[in-house]
Structure 1
Amino acid sequence: MAQAVKKKKTIAFNFGEKHKTYIRECESCMYNVAEGAVRAGKTVDNVFAFAHELKTTMDRIHLATGSTVGNAKLNIGDANGFGLEWIFRGQCHWGKYKDNEALYVKGPATKYRQRIIIFAGGGKEDSYKKIRGNSYGMWIATEINLHHKNTIREAFNRTIAAHRRKVFWDLNPDNPNAPIYKEYIDKYAKQAAAGELIGGYNYMHCTLYDNINLTPERIREIESQYTPGSIWYLQDIKGMRVTAQGLIYRQFAEDTNSKAFRFRRTEKPKDIMEIILSIDFGGSGSGHAFSATAITRGFNEVVSLASEWHGCQDENGNQIEIDPEQLGQMFVDFCLKVINLYGYITAVYCDSAEQTLILGIKSSLRKAGLGWIRVENALKEQINDRIRLTTRLMAQGRYSYMDLMCDSLVAAFCSAVWDPDEITKNIRLDDGTSDIDSLDAFEYTIERYITKLIKYE
Structure 2
Amino acid sequence: MINYAPLTERQSEYIKDTNDSWLNVLEGGKRAGKNIINLIAYSMCLEVHPDKLHLVGGVSLGSAKMNIIDSNGFGLLHLFKGRCREGEYQNRDALYIQTVTGEKVVIIAGGGKANDAARIKGNSYGSVYISEVNECHQSFVQEVFDRTLASSKRQLFFDLNPFAPSHWFYRDILDYQDELKINGENEGYNYAHFTIKDNLSISDEILKSVIKTYDKTSLWYQADILGRRVAATGRIYTGYKKQEVVIDRNYIKDNNLKFVEFSIGIDVGGTDATVATLTGFTQQYRDIIELDYYYHKQGKESGYTHDRYAKEIVDKIEEWIRTYPSFLFSTHIFCESADKLFRQALTNELRRRGINITVVPAYKKEGILDRIRLVNILINQGRYKIMRHLVNLIEAIENATWDQKEKDKGEWVRTDDGSYPVDCLDSSEYSIQPFKKRLEV
Please give the TM-score of this superposition, normalised by the length of structure 1.
0.69
| Paired residue secondary structure (2:58) | strand
Contact 1:325 1:360 (8 Å CA) reproduced: no
Equivalents in 1 of 2:56, 2:296: separation in Å? 48
Distance in 2 between residues matched to 1:71 and 1:276, nearest whole Å? 37
SS at match of 1:252: coil
Contact 1:307–1:408 under 8 Å retained in 2: no
Structure 1 residues 115 and 429, CA gap change in structure 2 (3 angstroms)? same
Displacement of 1:141: 3.4
Note the alpha carbon deviations across 1:257-315, whole angstroms, 9 max, x for none: 479xx978963357x9xx784525242xx32234577999xx999886875432124xx
Correspondences of 1:122-271 after superposition (within 5 Å): 122=112, 127-129=113-115, 132-135=118-121, 137=125, 138-153=127-142, 155-156=144-145, 165-194=154-183, 200-254=188-242, 255-257=244-246, 267-269=258-260
> 1: distance between equivalents of 2:25 and 2:435?
30
**1:179-224 residue CA offsets vs partner (Å, 9 max, x unmatched):** 3211221122223444666x93211123444444544434322321
Q: CA deviation at 1:227?
A: 0.8
The aligned amino acid for 1:320 is S
Q: Which amino acid aligns with 2:207?
A: I
* CA deviation after TM superposition for structure 1 residue 249, in Å: 1.0
Say if 1:372 and 1:62 are closer, same or farther in 2 by CA, change over 3 A.
farther
User: 1:438 is matched by which residue type in structure 2?
Assistant: C
Which residue matches 1:360? 341
Summarize the Cα distance change of 1:151–1:192 in structure 2 as closer, same or farther, 3 Å threshold: same
Asked if 1:65 is matched to 2:58, the reply is yes
Sequence identity, in percent?
27
Q: Is the alpha carbon distance of 1:288 and 1:98 closer, same or farther for their aligned partners in structure 2, counting shifts above 3 Å?
A: farther
The verdict on how the C-alpha distance between 1:218 and 1:372 changes in structure 2, with shifts beyond 3 A counting, is closer
Aligned residue pairs, count = 418
**Which string of whole-angstrom CA distances, capped at 9 and with x for unpartnered residues, describes residues 133-157 of structure 1?**
2357344333334444355345545
* Counterpart Cα distance in 2 of 1:35 and 1:454: 33
1:113-151 CA distance string (max 9 Å, x none) = 3644526373xxxx3445642357344333334444355
Q: Does residue 416 of structure 1 match 2:405?
A: no
Counterpart secondary structure, 2:158: strand
Residue 76 of structure 2, aligned match among 77, 80, 84: 84
Give the CA RMSD over aligned residues: 5.0
- Aligned-partner Cα distance in 2 for 1:95–1:376: 42
| Cα distance, 1:447 vs structure 2 | 7.8
Contact 2:22 2:156 in 1 (8 A): yes
Corresponding position: 1:323 with 2:305: yes
**Between Structure 1 and Structure 2, which shows a larger proportion of helix residues?**
2
Of 172-181 and 359-368, the range deviating more from structure 2: 359-368
Secondary structure in 2 matching 1:118: strand
- Give the CA deviation at 1:175: 2.6
Letter of the structure 2 residue corresponding to residue 42 of structure 1? K
CA contact (8 A) 2:274 2:296 kept: yes
Alpha-carbon deviations, 1:391-421, whole Å to 9, x = none?
Answer: 2454356x64675897654442233245689
Distance 1:70 1:304 in 2: 40
Structure 1: unaligned runs, 5 residues or longer: 1-8, 353-357
Partner of 1:5: none
**CA-CA distance at 1:24 after TM superposition:** 1.7
Larger Rg belongs to? 2
Deviation at 1:334, TM superposition (A): 7.4
Whether the 8 Å contact between 2:232 and 2:407 is mirrored in structure 1 is no
Q: Is the 8 A contact 1:418 1:429 kept in 2?
A: yes
Distance in 1, matches of 2:65 and 2:288, equals: 28
CA distance in 1, matches of 2:247, 2:347: 41
Identify the range of structure 1 (167-176 vs 55-64) with the bigger mean alpha-carbon deviation.
Answer: 55-64
Q: Are 2:38 and 1:46 equivalent residues in the alignment? A: yes
Give the aligned partner of residue 391 of structure 1: 376
Q: Secondary structure at 2:164's aligned position in 1?
A: coil
3-state secondary structure, aligned to 1:391: helix
Relative distance call for 1:292 and 1:42 in structure 2 (3 A) is: farther
Question: Residue 416 of structure 1 contacts residue 436 of structure 1 at CA under 8 Å; is this kept in 2?
Answer: yes
CA contact (8 A) 1:43 1:75 kept: yes
Partner of 1:355: none
